[in-house]
Structures are given as structure tokens and as C-alpha cells.
Amino acid sequence: MVSGLRNKFHKPPTQNHFIINVKKPFKQRILDGPILCDGAMGTLLDLYEYDEMPHEIQNIKNPDIVERVHREYIDAGSEIIEANTFSANRFRLAQYRLEDKLEEINRTGVEIAKRAASGKNVYVAGAVGPTGMMLEPIGKLKKQEARDAFKQQIEILLKAEVDVLFLETFVSVAELDEAIAAAKELTKDIPVVAQKAFAEDGAILSGNFPIEIIEHLLEHGADIVGANCTVGPQRMFSIIKNIHKNGVILSAQPAAGIPTLLNGRSIYHTTPEYLAQYAKELVEAGVTLIGACCGSTPAHIRAIRDAIKGLQVGVRTPEIKVKEKFSSPTSNLQPLTTSSRSRFAQNIGKKFLTTVELDIPRGTDVSPVLDGAKYLHNIGIDAVNITDGARARLRMSSIAISTRIQNEVGMEAITHLTTRDRNMIGLQSELLGAHILGLRNILCITGDPAQIGDYPQAQTVFDISSAGLIRAVASMNRGMDLVGNTIGQPTSFLVCCAANPIAENIDTEIERTIKKAESGAELIFTQPIYELRTIEMFLKRIEHLKIPVMLGLLPLRSYKHAEFLHNEIPGMRIPAKIRDAIRNAGDKGQSVGTHVAKELLKEVKGMVAGVYMLPPFQKYNVVEELLEVV
């Protein structure tokens, strides 16, 4: 509990600091009452038409204008100014091919701020922002790589002798953990301010989530904790008002409202008076470090200065009890109940499950799909697989078709969702929509790149990997989004993934499968397999994962079909002896192909949870033949 945490700073004997001319050590000053931070650097640089990105390049190109901004904030009343180093880590700078300027940009940024603060009771903060990349397992950035990047930047800031470190605008708590760890490895003396960027969401802001985050950051070593950016003053107050406890020093730097775009530039509309009104309430609610973020100007800071003059930190607030500690974006908020799961999910391990992939139409006529689903439903198939733009071809939405099938046929769907076409916002939006429509089985896949499909000029997103999408679905099942913000009521998806036991580099494929399992996958669907030893070796290597497997079966209809799959479809490999057997069969090649599939299914039935059948060209009658051995 926050109330049980000890004060990290020990207040010295009472002094009249107003008559001391020498600047106090920051740890002492922070105990004397509210301290006013500055406002946005980027906003002013844009206003002065120094809008080249990243803004930190102005430390080298136009240091005078950066110093001017600092001085304007100091004149407005700022007692802390942040060096213009927010985006100056190696990953952010690499986007602009400026990684070789990392040391110069950070060092010069602090030097400029110190010049502006010289001779005044003003503290210089080293600003450290996120890498701009997603950490594993959601993205590709390893935690250690992120920590090393933060450590590299922070070491430069410390050598330049900043008074305090501001780790700010972090959406991902996991990434903020790495930044805190990097700072604490380098210094025990310089205070670390850790600020999360919260979403603009009433459910998030009004519940226990903010206080869980604050506790988490304190436990990981932050000295001062709070929030900045993304939300305006009113929402910031909603975050902070229930957090203040004795011994905890809080910070708050709200944005100047929500911007609108004008000629490609973000325009903010919150007035200085409105921002100042809430700044006053924030201090009364327990905030010590008060300032503003995106869209704010010296006028906003000046208004805040006047509003907080003479205030004492920490008016009594209602006691909020924390039910659970925040641990990570996948911590369990509410367990799933069996009744909320799909019939398919509930039957895993209880019966041998069968699914069939349906051919998805190019246009709007879904009657063949519905007819196929009805046929398969009548012969006892448990679910149908609905692909999501397979081979990057234009096809109807997998969510729309799955919903039609479930509503009109009464048969459950395994809805495929790819990371190719949507960013992480769009994917999570689709998931929420799928859930409210009644879909409960999601197969998370990467998808084929756009350039191989109907529209090669289309952009391929791949904002997150399939493991990242799995993590998103699993997080929603625990009541949170991808970065740990609450979504209210948990979803109840069966989280499925794909695996290819015949991949050329099987070691890499096993590593990916393990990663998917660790991210939350509950069921594996394999690519089509043709040999018993292939599935046996795969099952042996993943047996420690304790995840059931659906065997992929694609009955071959001809020698030409076999050759096409083997030579032209990525991830497919048809053994030579099977291709030869089908070739030698001539016109009876399809019978041989079906026989091969039936024999494999008969041998593997006791090893897997079920079979995932991919009959070619709507030849669903082949499914009935395969079912003879089930």
C-alpha cells in the first residue's frame, strides 16, 4: 500500500529557505512545498518555426533559440526546466540518422539549460522519453536493449550534471521499468521522477489502476512518481486525486487539452486560466511537482505560478484501498469463468475436435460460405476456420463472415486475425468488436506481406508480431489492453496461434512457438503436414509447453496441386515419395492424396487435440472421407 511506504527524502531541520541565496540541493527543496516545472519545448520551437524533427537537433543547429525557450519559462516562474533531450536516445535518433550525434545532442542540451538557469534558483532536469519501439514479446525490442539505450543516454546526462532525471511520457510500464533500472544502476544520489502517460479513458482514470501504477513505480525504485502528457488538466486531476498518501511525492504535467490538426500542426485550445485552475486543485490533491506538457506555453506556466502561490501540498482525499498489486500488462484482474468460453474451448481435451477452413469470397456473396458451413455443421464439424485476407488477397472481413455463420448457421468460427493490415490500435479495436458480436475463438497470425497480393503497392503494417497480438488477446482476457490500461470487463477469447512443423529452420520455428505460448497462446494450429515423423518431432520439442495441438491436413487432389504447394507456397513441403505416388496414380491422384491424409490422421489421432482440415476448392465431401477415421 502507498500509505505504508516510507518517505524517500528525510526533511532537515526547519530553515527559512526564502533568505538563502544559494540553490538548495533538490532533495531538500522538494520538501518545502510545490515546485513549478516548465511547459512544452516542442510547442514553442514549432511556434517559432524551428519545427525540424527531432526537436533535439536544435541543440546543435540553433542553441540560441533553445536557450530562449528555457529563459521564457524561467521568466514565467519555472523552478525546474527540462533539457531538450526527451527523444535523444539511440533508437529515436536512429529514425533520423542522428545516432552518431547522441552524445553531442544530450550534452549540449544540458549545457544550454544550465546557461539559462545560471545564477537563478532553477534546477535542470535531464528529460528521458521512451524508445519509440515496443518491447518483446509485443514488439521486437529486447528489454536489455532498451535498458542499455536508456543507460547510454542517462550516463551522458549525469556527466553533464543534471539536478534530477525526468523519465516521462511512458505508455508502457514495462519500458518505464527499464528506464528506472538504468537510472538506478548509474546513480543513487540524483532523484528519479517517473511519469506514466495514461489513456484518455474514464474507466482507467476513475478506478484503482492509477494507484496500482504508482505503487509499482515506487517499488521499482522511482523517487517521485506521477503522470504527464496525453490527457488534459481535468483528466489529470481524475488520475491524481485519489493517489496522494503521506511520504509519496507526486508530479503532474497535463497537456493543454486535446489538439486539432491545422496544416499538419497540432493546435491546442486549453487556456492558461483553465489549466491554472486545475493546477491549483492538483497541488491541493497532493502534487508537489506541477507543470504542463504538450501545447503549453510560458503563458500557461505564468498562470499556474499565480494560482499555486502560497498553497500547501496535500489536501485530505478519500482512502482508496488497492485490491491487487500491479505487476505487468498481463496481471490477472479477473479470472475467466468456464461459462464465458466458447463451446469449442470447453471441449478441448474432452473430445477429438474437428475444424474446416472455408473458402472466403472475393465479393459480397456469402451464400457459398454459408452453404458450406451448413453442410459441415450437419456432418458434425465442431467449428469452421475463417481466414483473414490469406495470401494478401482482397477478401471479406473474417469478423463479418464469422458473425454471419455463428448467427445464421449456429456453428462456431475460429476467426483468423492478421497483424499485416492494422496497427496495434486497430487490432485491439477489432478484438473488442469481435467480442461484442459474440466471437470467442481468435487465431492470431502475422499474415503474408502485401506485396505478394492483389495490391502490391499497399503498405504492410506489421506494427506488432503475431506474438504481440497473442499478448493483446490474452491481456484483454484479463481486463486490460496491450499496455496495461483497463478495458473494464474482461473478454473471454480462446487464444490460438499457428505453427509450422515443416519450417526450413525448425529451431527458429520452435523458438517462435515458445514465445507465442509465453505470450498466452492456448491452442496451436499447424500448417498442413504429410508425414508422421514431422508431427512427432514437433510435439516432442514443445511437450513442455503443455499446449494442445490441432493437426493441419490438406488432402492433395493431383500431382500438379502437390507440385504447386511444394514449390510455390512458402512454408509448404510435400515429401518426394508422396508427390511421386500421386504422379504415378495419374487420374486417381486425388484418391491417393485423400488416402495419405486419412492414414496420417489415423496414426496421429491419439497425439493431438483435433484436426484442422483444408479441403481444396470447396470440396467439402473430402471432409466426410477423413471423418471415417475419427
Higher pLDDT, 566 or 474: 474
26-308 and 344-627: same fold? Answer: yes
Distances (CA, A) of 260 to 197, 236, 256: 19, 19, 12
Higher pLDDT, 263 or 308: 308
Q: pLDDT tier at 260 (50, 70, 90 boundaries)?
A: low
Query: What contacts 13, CB < 8 A, 6 or more positions away?
Result: none
Q: What is the DSSP letter of 127?
A: E
CATH superfamily name and code, 26-308:
Homocysteine-binding-like domain (3.20.20.330)
The pLDDT > 70 percentage for the chain reads: 90
* Beta-bridge partner residues of 225: 194, 250
- The tens digit of pLDDT for each residue in 97-124 reads 999 999 999 999 999 999 999 999 999 9
Task: Give yes or no for residue 565 having a pLDDT over 50.
Answer: yes
Mean pLDDT over each residue of the chain, to the nearest integer:
88
Determine the average pLDDT of the residues in 230-248. 82
| Candidate CATH numbers 3.30.420.10, 1.20.1440.130, 3.50.30.30, 3.20.20.220; the one for domain 344-627 | 3.20.20.220
Residue 318, pLDDT > 70, answer: no
How many angstroms separate the CA atoms of 338 and 345, rounded? 9
| pLDDT for the residue 326 | 39
Of 64, 61, 65, nearest to 46 (Cα)?
A: 65
pLDDT in tens, 429-445: 999 999 999 999 999 99
Nearest to 12 by CA among 34, 36, 29, 35: 29
Side-chain-side CA neighbours of residue 65 (13 Å): 20
Q: Would you kindly state where each structural domain of the chain is located, as residue ranges? A: 26-308, 344-627
**The predicted structure's pLDDT at residue 138:** 76
Q: Could you tell me the pLDDT band of residue 268, with boundaries at 50, 70 and 90?
A: confident
Tens-digit pLDDT profile for residues 365-400: 999 999 999 999 999 999 999 999 887 788 999 999
Task: Quick: pLDDT tens for 533-551.
Answer: 999 999 999 999 999 999 9
Whether the link from the prior residue into 137 is cis, omega within 30° of 0, is: yes
pLDDT digits (tens, 9 = 90+) for 32-70: 999 999 999 999 998 888 989 999 999 999 999 999 999
Give the bridge partners for 250, in sequence order: 225, 287
- Long-range CB pairs of 465-468 (<8 Å, 24+ gap) are 465/137, 465/138, 465/139, 465/140, 465/419, 466/419, 466/497, 466/498, 466/516, 467/136, 467/137, 467/138, 467/512, 467/515, 467/516, 467/519, 468/134, 468/137, 468/138, 468/139, 468/419, 468/424, 468/519
